[in-house]
């Protein structure tokens, strides 16, 4: 797998760790990078935003990127919405492959992962959870995500034991329903994660208030990574 394209904002001075942020289906690496200074205005964390490897095209024009699926027929089904009809039953290769690529990128860039926080929006939130199944993470930031690869998550649940999770979801989300978000929350909680779930009155988006709450969650980190709330 070729190295992923990415945007990186380094911490000022010694970093507290690295925040790995995955964008959603149809976006690009710049999408969540725009949140870097709002999420971490003190510049105490490295913030890495990889770009998904699968281009979404209309004719010869690329209008965004996806982590999965990567096969032409599945991509067409994804663009129509039918591919995502039963997310918990899906376990596409791009899910695990993309997380491996992002984890490899952390090493290639020699970023400080003394503390590693994985986060993302929508499909990116699914990637963040997958990252926690593949490597140690100290926290998750999940914006409008949903449960995917349920069987594998259950079989790997020990990787999530004690991991603090900030999760937010809109009650009027018509892309990934609020109930899908709650299903993810329940599955993570059953796996032993510590859930801080925030509902907001809105659609499939990341509201300003949710970023502020995520910032407070992130900044709650101290020398004791088991401290409540947050890291």
Taking the domains of the chain in order of start, what are their residue ranges? 6-219
Residue 110 has pLDDT above 70, yes or no: yes
Q: What is the pLDDT of residues 34-62, one digit of tens each?
A: 999 999 999 999 999 999 999 998 777 88
Residue keyed to tokens 């790997």: 156
Share of the chain above pLDDT 90, in %: 86
5 pLDDT higher than 60? yes
109-124: average pLDDT: 97
- Report pLDDT for 231: 64
Tell me, what's the pLDDT at 221?
55
Mean pLDDT, to the nearest integer, of 162-170?
97
* pLDDT score at 44: 95
Per the listing, tokens 């205005």 go with 41
| pLDDT tier for residue 226 given thresholds of 50, 70 and 90 | very low
The H or E element that residue 20 is part of is strand 18-22
118 pLDDT above the threshold of 60: yes
Geometric angle at alpha carbon 166, from 120 and 27, rounded to 5°: 15
pLDDT at 81: 85
Average pLDDT rounded to a whole number, residues 75-81: 89
Q: Which two tokens stand for residue 80?
A: 């129509």
CATH number of 6-219: 3.40.50.1820
- Average pLDDT score over residue span 187-194: 96
Cα separation, 173 vs 180, in Å, equals 10
Phi then psi for residue 174, to 5 deg, are: -105, 0
Q: What is the pLDDT of residue 113?
A: 95
| Residue 154 scores a pLDDT above 60 | yes
**Got the DSSP string for 21-50?**
EE--TTB-THHHHTTHHHH-TT--SEEEEE
Which of 57-61, 111-115, 133-137, 149-153 shows the lowest per-residue confidence on average (mean pLDDT)? Answer: 57-61
Q: Mean pLDDT across the stretch 172-201? A: 97
């Amino acid at each position: 797998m070729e190295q992923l394209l990415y945007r990186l904002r380094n911490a000022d001075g010694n970093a507290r760790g690295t925040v790995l942020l995955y964008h959603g289906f149809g976006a690009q690496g710049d999408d969540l990078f725009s949140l870097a200074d709002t999420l971490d205005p003190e510049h105490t964390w490295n913030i890495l935003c990889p770009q998904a490897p699968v281009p979404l095209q209309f004719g010869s024009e690329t209008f965004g990127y996806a982590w999965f699926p990567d096969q032409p027929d599945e991509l067409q089904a994804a663009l129509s919405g039918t591919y995502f009809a039963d997310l918990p039953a899906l376990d596409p290769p791009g899910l695990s492959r993309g997380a491996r690529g992002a984890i490899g990128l952390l090493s290639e860039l020699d970023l400080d992962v003394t503390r590693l926080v994985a986060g993302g929006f929508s499909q990116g939130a699914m990637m963040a959870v997958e990252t926690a199944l593949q490597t140690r993470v100290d926290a998750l930031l999940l914006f409008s995500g949903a449960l995917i690869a349920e069987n594998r998550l259950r079989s790997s649940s020990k990787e999530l034991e004690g991991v603090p999770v900030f999760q937010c979801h809109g009650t009027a989300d018509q892309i990934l329903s609020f109930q899908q978000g709650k299903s993810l929350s329940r599955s993570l909680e059953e796996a032993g994660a510590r859930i801080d779930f925030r509902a907001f009155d809105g659609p499939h988006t990341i509201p300003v208030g949710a970023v502020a709450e995520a910032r407070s969650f992130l900044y709650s980190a101290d020398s004791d990574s088991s401290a409540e709330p947050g890291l």
